[in-house]
Amino acid sequence: MAEVVLFSLIEKMTTAVATAAVRPRGCGARSQHNVHEGMIRIKSKLEEMQEFVKSMSTYRSEHETVFVSWAKQVQDVAFDIEDIVDEYTYVVAGGSWGGWGAFVCGLFNDAKATALREIARRLEAIEVSLAQLSGMEELPVIRILQRMPELPGEPQRGYHLAESAHIIEEDELVGIDDHKDRLIGLLTDEEPRRTAVAVFGMGGAGKTTLVTRVYRDGAIVSHFSCRAWVFVSPSYNVNDLLRKILRALLQERIEEVTDDFDSMEYRNLVEALRSHLDRQRYLIVLDDVWQVSIWTDISYALIANSCRSRIVITTRMQEVASVAGGSRVMRVDPLPEEMAWALFCKKAFPREEGSVCPPALEHWARRIVDKCEGLPLAIVAIGILLSYRDRAESTWKSMHDGLTWSTTEHTGLHRVSRILSLSIRHLPYHLRNCLLYCSLFPDGYLIGRNRLIRLWVAEGFVKERRERSMEEVAEDYLNQLVGRCLLQVTHRNESGRVRFCRVHDLIRELIVARSREEHFAEAYDGEPEDLSDRIRRLSLLQGAGADERLSEKMPLLRSFLAFSSSSTSLLSKCRLIRVLDLYTAPLESLPDEIGHLFDLRYLSIRRTNVRHLPKTLGSLQKLETLDAVYTHIEELPSGVTRLESLRHLMVKKFHRQTSRYTVLSGGVVVPGGMDKLRGLQTMKAVVVGDETTVRHLRRLTQMKSLDIRGVRTIHSKLLSASISKMDRLVRLVVMARHKDDTLLLGNLTPPPRLRKLSLYGNLEKGMTSRWPDSLRALTHLVLKMSRLKADSLSSLMELPNLVSLFLMQAYDGTELCFRAGRLRKLKSLWLYDMIHLSRMEVEENALESLRELRLVRCGKLKTIPVGIEYLGRLQKLELESMPIELVEKLQGGGQTEDDRMRLQHIPVIENWFQRDGCWMEERLS
């Protein structure tokens, strides 16, 4: 708890001390020197306390009453220090503090000196508090706790929880038959070498239950000459683990453990294990493994004989599972809806014939099961609890309304909480911050990858590593949380990257409770009186207008995410805000006061009705992300050129939606001088004003994503030269101004990392012929209004790594043929507004990876694509506003027997059409 707060604060103080170290001059110099010295002393003391907290966390559970009480006081003082550091940074920057006591407008000369003296006085008081807390480290009870190795802390609880999963009833084994058969197959196959098999999934998903059933299966018992099952402590000791394995093997053979067993050193343990396992076909189960290093630590001791021996690892972490190799990793996911319902009924209604739920209870019973989100551990726990309750509908409704996993006193439900909490507790501090931050999003909310990454960066959770940007490091954090089963991926793009993720309901409940307890963050959906003024981060889930009262209560707020409010009144009071996310808020303007938020790093007004940005925007010297996508803004104020910390500038003017997937949006006019923003990585979508704007682009060498619009023919060659300087560019969008303008990009030297390319407008003749050689890294291609001929189209079909192709008014031909061997990695193909296209053909071995084919407004395409039977991996064929002749041929999976044979491998065929202004879906197969 306190360790995470201390780490973040120490890093912030390091920066503040460096600022204070700059030799001050003039009025206030002495006071600033005193602040500098005080910060150095406090930082040193915090580092000592951080080491102490680490040592305590190693030995004792975080729930130890004495330690938690002390750590809570440390956290409160740390928050006070953070406030002082932020206020000091503001004062040094010459900011205006409005009505904050001594911090009056200007803060220059005497006022600034007064402010610095006040900060120095507060630092002195903080030093006294820290001295008192440091003295508590020497209390006998604290020292005794520190010396007591793992009494009885979280590892022991984890052990007993794992053991209880090892003792299972047959009726709890729902939905694992397929997994069981596959696991038995992997353990008994003919591979002679010793191999590892990993069973991977989130806590409570049923990994241990599955492996237990297999471990006890008669075929497995008879197949192996010796077996051992060992629970692995998260803070395992190699020697102790080897002793556990050896003891389990000896006990299975009913052999006595020698007197010197507990004193055996590593070398002797390894020799004893290897001797015991030599020429044996053994099975070792390592249950609940947390560290990849375990394989390196013990694999030598588990002799690699050629007797078809096997090692099974159960883990919550994808990284650990990877030691087994891809084909020997089994993922255990939460149960699908009907299997979850079947398991619940077995536990909740054991005395009913057939374990059938009474009709009067089904509504609330199903809603209770929904809260478990398919997690067998939770389903069994709540089912057993309800099996003893009366059958009154009001009782079950009350149970649903009051169901909380994090605070329940019921033993079974609390067990669920403890098992899932292990996954959170054993996170490193940087991942823990990132996960707790997700508690700010509503239940079931789909969180976009880029949005989450930029929020983490703005919060200071991410640090650059060598040549990797903070955004790249943050994406690695995201993948680690996914790999630990703490975030669930809901959508991936064609390249396999996370697009959207969410938090499992049970995990969310735990992190919401923990965030609130630690004053880390609060997802607010009640009354302001329920909130602590210590909360640093707040999201408003409901109660529009309530934030008018919040500003008075929470002047030290650092982050505000609004999901239901249009009020910005808090901006006049909460001057320390770093993150202001007003995504989709019913908002029409931003007040000038936003310019006073000197520490603001992230500002989002995406999908709002805002039409203008205030002129004071240029005062936000620390702003890193400005997201104004799909607003009504047409022009940026001149002050934007002063935002030298800006990394991501995203502005798009919303026009209208032309289909379910296509949104027309325009660029936004930017002022001259954008070349001053040398740190820009993202800029979309900006309008080219003149030649100077295009020429200045070459100075933005950090650019990774560029969307530029309004390009005229006379600009395009100069634009090519500027883009060629952007060697980090990954995504490029270029849109011509008029339909008669031609994009003369033939002399463009494509940046080596370019993966996504979108071109809107006529293309220079012969331009695509160079693409197969110059765009080999390209994975996504969008062409609109290109009016390509057959020879030009054939060139882009030779792009070797393309996974997504979107063509809209891009081809003037009547026939489109995908030749054998072309676009073999393509997964998505979208054909829009091909007004002349009447025939489409796919040759064998073309598009062999295609998963999705979408045909939209191709008015002359009235026949099923020839060769569609060769698209063996096609999962979905989707039509939108297509000719009725084609729709009828696809109806029922094919109108004729021949068509049905050609289409039978496609799981989903859908037709979308408009009726009375609404989109309607028709399932054709």
Dist CA 922 CA 21 (whole Å): 69
pLDDT band at 550 (very low <50, low <70, confident <90, very high): low
327 vs 107 pLDDT, higher one: 327
β-pairing verdict for 488-492 and 498-502: antiparallel
Give the model confidence (pLDDT) of 152-210 as tens digits: 344 444 444 444 444 445 455 566 778 889 999 999 998 999 999 999 998 888 888 88
Measured in degrees and rounded to the nearest 5, phi and psi for residue 613 equal: -100, 140
Side chain identity at 655, as an amino acid letter?
Answer: H
The DSSP secondary-structure symbol of 689 reads -
Cβ atoms of 898 and 887 closer than 8 Å: no
User: Using one digit for the tens of pLDDT, what is the confidence trace for 126-168?
Assistant: 888 888 777 655 555 455 444 444 433 444 444 444 444 444 4
pLDDT given at position 23: 45
Of the two residues 234 and 340, the one the predictor is more confident about is 340
pLDDT (average), residues 828-844 = 94
Distance between CA atoms of 214 and 334, rounded to whole angstroms? 19
Closest CA to 565 of 577, 551, 583: 583
Q: Specify the higher pLDDT residue, 267 or 159.
A: 267
Sorting pLDDT into bands at 50, 70 and 90, what band is 783? very high
Scan for tokens 């770093």, then name that residue: 578
CA-to-CA distance for 881 and 855, rounded, in angstroms? 9
Residues 748-782 have pLDDT tens digits of 888 889 999 999 999 888 888 888 888 889 999 99
Mean pLDDT of 415-437: 83
What pLDDT shows up at residue 69?
Answer: 73
473 pLDDT more than 60: yes
Nearest to 43 by CA among 15, 83, 76: 15
pLDDT of residue 63: 46
Stronger pLDDT, 62 or 90, i.e. the higher one: 90
Q: What average pLDDT score do residues 115-121 get?
A: 83
List, for residues 531-543, the tens digit of each pLDDT value: 666 778 888 876 5
Write out the E strands in 691-738. Answer: 705-711, 731-736
The two three-digit tokens of residue 460, written as one number: 């200071």
Average pLDDT of the residues of the chain: 82
Specify the pLDDT at position 394. 85
Per-residue confidence (pLDDT) for residue 120, from 0 to 100? 84
* 500 has pLDDT over 50: yes
**pLDDT of residue 65 exceeding 80:** no
What confidence score (pLDDT) does residue 921 get?
A: 86
For residue 837, pLDDT over 90 is answered with: yes
Q: Scanning the structure block, which residue is given the tokens 């794992």?
A: 162
For residue 164, count other CB atoms closer than 10 A to its CB. 12
> CB within 8 A of 638, min separation 6: which ones?
615, 618, 671, 673
Query: Could you identify the residue written with the tokens 């940005």?
Result: 613
Which residue blocks in 137-176 are alpha helix, DSSP H?
A: 140-147, 154-166
| Band (95; pLDDT cuts 50, 70, 90) | low
Which tens digit of pLDDT belongs to each residue from 344-371?
898 888 888 888 898 888 899 998 888 8
845 sits in the region (left: phi over 0; alpha: psi -120 to 50; else beta) called: left
- Select the more confidently predicted residue: 97 or 428: 428
| Angle in degrees, 0-180, between the axes of helices 154-166 and 411-425, rounded to the nearest 10 | 120
Residues in the chain: 925
- Contact status, residue 470 vs residue 457, Cβ threshold 8 Å: yes
Confidence of residue 472 (pLDDT cuts 50, 70, 90): very high
Q: Are strands 780-784 and 804-808 parallel, antiparallel or unpaired?
A: parallel
pLDDT at 478 > cutoff 90 = yes
Give the pLDDT confidence score for residue 815 in this predicted structure.
Answer: 93
Instruction: Supply the pLDDT for residue 917.
Output: 75
* Confidence tier at 300 by pLDDT (50, 70, 90): confident
Categorize the per-residue pLDDT at 895 as very low, low, confident or very high, splitting at 50, 70 and 90.
confident
Question: Phi and psi of 813, rounded to 5°?
Answer: -75, 165
Q: Are 502 and 429 in contact (CB under 8 A)?
A: no
Average pLDDT over residues 802-821: 93
Answer yes or no: is pLDDT of 102 > 80.
no
pLDDT digits (tens, 9 = 90+) for 583-612: 988 888 888 888 888 889 999 999 999 999
Q: Are 857 and 883 in contact (CB under 8 A)?
A: no
Mind giving me the DSSP string for 189-218? SS--S-EEEEEE--TTSSHHHHHHHHHH-H
- List, for residues 659-704, the tens digit of each pLDDT value: 666 656 788 998 888 989 999 999 998 998 788 888 888 899 999 9
More confident residue, 60 or 228: 228
For 186, residues 6+ apart whose C-beta sits below 8 A from its C-beta are 195, 197, 310, 328, 330
Mean pLDDT of 118-133: 83
Rounded to a whole number of angstroms, the distance between the first and last alpha carbons of the chain is: 53
Q: Using pLDDT thresholds of 50, 70 and 90, give the confidence band for residue 729.
A: very high
- Give the separation between CA 526 and CA 535, rounded to whole angstroms: 15
pLDDT digits (tens, 9 = 90+) for 211-223: 988 998 899 999 9
- Cis amide linkage into residue 248, ω under 30° from 0: no
Burial readout 598-617 (b: 16 or more C-beta within 10 A, e: otherwise): bbbbbbbbbbbebeebbebb
Q: What angle do CA 148, 154, 157 make, to 5 degrees?
A: 115
Residue 524's pLDDT is 80
Query: How much is the average pLDDT of 898-922?
Result: 88
Q: Is the peptide bond before 120 cis (omega within 30 degrees of 0)?
A: no
pLDDT of residue 704: 95
Confidence of residue 103 (pLDDT cuts 50, 70, 90): very low
608-612-615-618 Cα dihedral, nearest 10 degrees: 50
Average pLDDT over residues 290-309: 88
Residue 410: pLDDT band with limits 50, 70, 90: low
Report the C-alpha gap between 150 and 233 in whole angstroms. 11
What pLDDT score does 530 carry?
A: 63
pLDDT of residue 662: 63
E strands along 471-578, which residues? Answer: 488-492, 498-502, 522-524, 537-540, 559-562
**Dihedral of the CA atoms 581, 585, 588, 592 (nearest 10)?**
-30
Output Rg (C-alpha) for the chain, integer angstroms: 31
Nearest to 461 by CA among 492, 491, 427: 427
Could you give the CA distance from residue 443 to residue 421 in angstroms, rounded to a whole number? 18
Query: How far out from the chain centre does Cα 352 lie?
Result: 43
Q: Residue 96: what pLDDT?
A: 45
User: Which of 32 and 645 is assigned the larger pLDDT?
Assistant: 645
Residue 244 CA to its chain's centroid (Å): 37
The answer to whether 755 touches 731, Cβ cutoff 8 Å, is yes
- Is 501:480 a contact under the CB 8 Å cutoff? no
For residue 413, pLDDT beyond 90: no
Looking at residue 175, the DSSP 8-state letter turns out to be: S
